[in-house]
Structure 1
Amino acid sequence: MTSRRLIRQSTRQRRNALSPIEQSQAANALVQQCSINPVIQKAHSIAVYLSSDGEIDTNPLITWLWAQGKQVALPVIHPFSKGHLLFLEYTENSPLVHNKYQILEPKLNKTTIIPTSELDLILTPLVAFDHTGNRLGMGGGYYDRTLSNWHSAQQGPMPIGLSHTCQQVSSLPIESWDVPLPQIITPQKTWHW
């Protein structure tokens, strides 16, 4: 079985090989897929993330979510609870800083924290996914910990993965803490499980 490290390496190379035009086309097609998704249409408060390392660009999606009157939240690495995320409301005026992974996140402000229980959806980054909804992340476990209640009891915000089509693999080696996703949206289609 291919190791998780090798899958991460090869899929990251594939998505980083996409040209700026391909990235832009994928980001716009992702907005189209999200705009016809009934779960996203019904949701009010949606966590998303700012793309890095060749991930599908979420900026057009964020702009579209704002235009639909959705409350948008971004993840922030929790300052006291190691390995966990907080979610802060994100507006056009939110100040951003680089976290320890050099990923942009909102500057910590306790007045803009949105409790996870108040989120309807968490649009989740991933490095790779397979045909059964298994997700491979970067390896930090932040999202697996955040989504553990969903995984064990279908409680809390529903997770939906966002991905380039080239990040799909035939199968993933799964660990007990991995949280499979009920939906993954790519520029070409939405996968449901």
Structure 2
Amino acid sequence: MNNKAKIRESFLKTRLFLSKDYQTNSSKIIERKINHYIQRYNLKAFAIFISKIDEPFTHHIIVDALKEGIEVYLPRINGEKIEFRKIKNIQSDIVKNELFNIFEPKIECELLENIKEISTIFVPLVAFDKHLNRVGSGKGYYDRWFNENQYKGFKVGICQSSQLSNQIIDVEPHDVALNSIITEKQIYVPLESNDDEDSNFDITYAVFNDETIIN
């Protein structure tokens, strides 16, 4: 049995004890970093999620992107899978999924059919490790979508620095690691493997904390 369930349970409990001020302040910094990412890579379209109350706030990111004419796709649960649909207005184009207590695009919104239209998907997570493996909600929606669609774009996690697990997450064949993770303190990206047997380095990610982004 893998350790995902225990890690998920532990970090979900941890999030309950985070102060409102910490969540608010960290969300503001994460928001600025993501907006910087969108501008730096000149994204014309991307996918993101509508955050729950204990996740970094994504509402302003979506609103700002729509104002700039950027196409925004949101995940919608469809049975055992997710699909992405484009919204034009965050007020009128979303509906609450009472079963999962999340907001998602209405069924009338345009379905994403050409996967190549979006070069970046911002992904929610409960915990992550130094290899940029993630623990999600446990339903496997994102991993299933990445695999079935053979998605080659960037997969960027959004979370707080407190969600970094010191315990390495047990991965399964269907699990998909992220390309980077944005937190309020650092931006994590994987390092290329080093084949030098004499190397004393065992870190598997690089950490960036660009002051021009967060100030």
TM bucket (normalised to shorter chain) is 0.7 to 0.9
Partner of 1:105: 104
Deviations 1:22-64, CA, capped at 9 Å, x for gaps: 1111111001211332786322111111112512221122233
Partner of 2:86: 89
**Structure 1: unaligned runs, 5 residues or longer:** none
Partner of 2:180: 183
Partner of 1:122: 121
- Alpha carbons 2:45, 2:118 under 8 Å: kept: yes
3-state SS in 1 of match to 2:74: strand
How many Å separate the matches in 2 of 1:2 and 1:181?
A: 19
Q: State the aligned residue count.
A: 186
Distance 1:39 1:175, change over 3 A: farther
Q: Which has the higher contact order (CA 8 A, sep 6+)?
A: 1
How many Å separate the matches in 2 of 1:28 and 1:156?
A: 29
Structure with greater helix percent: 1
Amino acid at match of 2:80: G
Partner of 1:173: 170
**Structure 2: unaligned runs, 5 residues or longer:** 191-215
Offset of 1:162 from its aligned partner?
0.6
Amino acid at match of 1:174: V
How many Å separate the matches in 1 of 2:169 and 2:63?
A: 33
How many Å separate the matches in 2 of 1:105 and 1:99?
A: 10
CA root-mean-square deviation: 2.3
Partner of 1:143: 142
TM-score (normalizing by structure 1):
0.86
Q: Over alpha carbons, which structure has the higher Rg? A: 2
Distance 1:175 1:62, change over 3 A: same
- Alpha carbons 2:31, 2:57 under 8 Å: kept: no
Amino acid at match of 2:113: P
Identity of aligned residues (%): 26
How many Å separate the matches in 1 of 2:95 and 2:11?
A: 28
Distance 1:185 1:133, change over 3 A: same
How many Å separate the matches in 1 of 2:38 and 2:189?
A: 12
